[in-house]
């Protein structure tokens, strides 16, 4: 199902395509929210502020979603701030990030192992239709970037396991320890500053608030991938509303609608 949020919008001026990774292309980390949010709620409940588990869950879910697409550390910085607001003494945000990653990696280890051993095809952990989309855009000659809030060493390994790195010709970027030195916004600004392209030359694909907002801020075209993971068969209504709220031009639950999406993006065919 393809939703035309802004009918008539096309990506004819596209020169550069930016993809988010988790939830947009990769499903390896599907369920990460169900690891991060309970961890944070558990720690906040221990402060015994009298707030209900339900209200804390809603609070955490909201800021985690709002910061999805940025480096994971930003979610942990906000979490530490919430602890402080409640009179607690937070640990360094990097400690919380480490705790979260330990839990997540334990949960997804079998997925990495079965991919590495070749027991399952990469398609098992790709958003449906993603490879066909990547192949089409690559064949059109666009300069393609893969940019993620996940730590660079992990996401590059996972992109290789899914056999998608080759579409990006080395332009695969993730979070760094020096978290202020890289973000999707910084990447876009660098490309514009280098005169490689102007804002309307960007086409972005993402399931998070941040990457859609970054592309729209410079005048690009954005496809919101409102994936209801892990099946990715229908639109996640909550994601849809947030992505439309920051300017998504199109909404898809997966990329099985390429017969409609590609002509909408490029009505005049290959440029």
* 107/217 same-domain check: no
* 89/204 same-domain check: no
* 109/215 same-domain check: no
Specify if 271 maps to a domain. no
Residue 258: pLDDT over 90:
yes
* 261/139 same-domain check: yes
Tallying the residues shown for the chain, one arrives at: 271
**Region 143-152: what's the mean pLDDT?**
89
Domain that holds residue 55: 33-116
Last residue of a domain, one of 69, 91, 116: 116
Express each pLDDT in 27-45 by its tens digit: 999 999 999 999 999 999 9
CATH number at residue 140: 3.40.50.1000
Taking each continuous run of H as one helix and of E as one strand, the counts in the chain are: 10, 7
Tell me, what's the pLDDT at 188?
Answer: 76
Express each pLDDT in 175-226 by its tens digit: 877 777 666 777 777 777 775 677 888 999 999 888 898 899 889 999 999 9
**Are residues 251 and 238 in contact, defined by beta-carbon separation less than 8 angstroms?**
no
Express each pLDDT in 47-86 by its tens digit: 999 999 999 999 999 999 888 878 899 999 999 999 999 9
Give the DSSP H or E segment for 173: strand 172-175
CA distance 175 to 115: 23
**Region 81-105: what's the mean pLDDT?**
96
* 86/204 same-domain check: no
**Region 241-254: what's the mean pLDDT?**
95
The pair phi, psi for residue 125, each rounded to 5°, is -115, 25
* 142/81 same-domain check: no
- Tell me the pLDDT of the chain averaged across its residues: 92
* 64/197 same-domain check: no
* 101/46 same-domain check: yes
Q: What percent of the chain has pLDDT over 90?
A: 75
Residue 132: pLDDT over 50:
yes
pLDDT confidence band for 126 (50 / 70 / 90): very high
Tell me, what's the pLDDT at 271?
Answer: 47
């Amino acid at each position: 199902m393809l939703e035309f949020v802004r009918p008539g919008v096309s990506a004819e001026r596209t020169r550069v395509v930016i993809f988010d990774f988790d939830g947009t292309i990769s499903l390896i980390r599907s369920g990460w929210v169900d690891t991060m949010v309970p961890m944070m709620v558990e720690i906040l409940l221990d402060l015994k502020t009298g707030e209900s588990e339900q209200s804390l869950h809603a609070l955490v879910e909201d800021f985690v979603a709002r910061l999805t697409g940025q480096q994971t550390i930003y979610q942990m910085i906000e979490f530490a701030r919430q602890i402080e607001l409640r009179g607690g003494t937070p640990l360094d945000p990097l400690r919380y990030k480490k705790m979260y990653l330990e839990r997540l990696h334990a949960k997804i280890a079998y997925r990495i192992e079965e991919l590495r051993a070749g027991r399952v095809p990469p398609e098992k952990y790709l958003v449906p239709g993603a490879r066909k989309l990547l192949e089409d855009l690559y064949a059109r000659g666009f300069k393609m970037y893969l940019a993620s809030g996940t730590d660079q060493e992990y996401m590059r390994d996972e992109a290789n396991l899914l056999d998608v790195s080759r579409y990006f010709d080395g332009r695969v970027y993730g979070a760094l320890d020096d978290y202020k030195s890289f973000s999707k916004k910084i990447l876009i600004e660098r490309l514009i500053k280098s005169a490689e392209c102007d804002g309307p030359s960007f086409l972005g694909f993402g399931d998070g608030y941040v990457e859609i907002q970054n592309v729209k801020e410079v005048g690009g075209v954005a496809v919101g991938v409102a994936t209801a993971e892990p099946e990715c068969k229908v639109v996640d209504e909550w994601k849809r509303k947030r992505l439309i709220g920051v300017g998504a031009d199109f909404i898809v639950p997966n990329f099985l609608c390429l017969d409609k999406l590609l002509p909408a993006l490029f009505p005049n065919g290959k440029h």
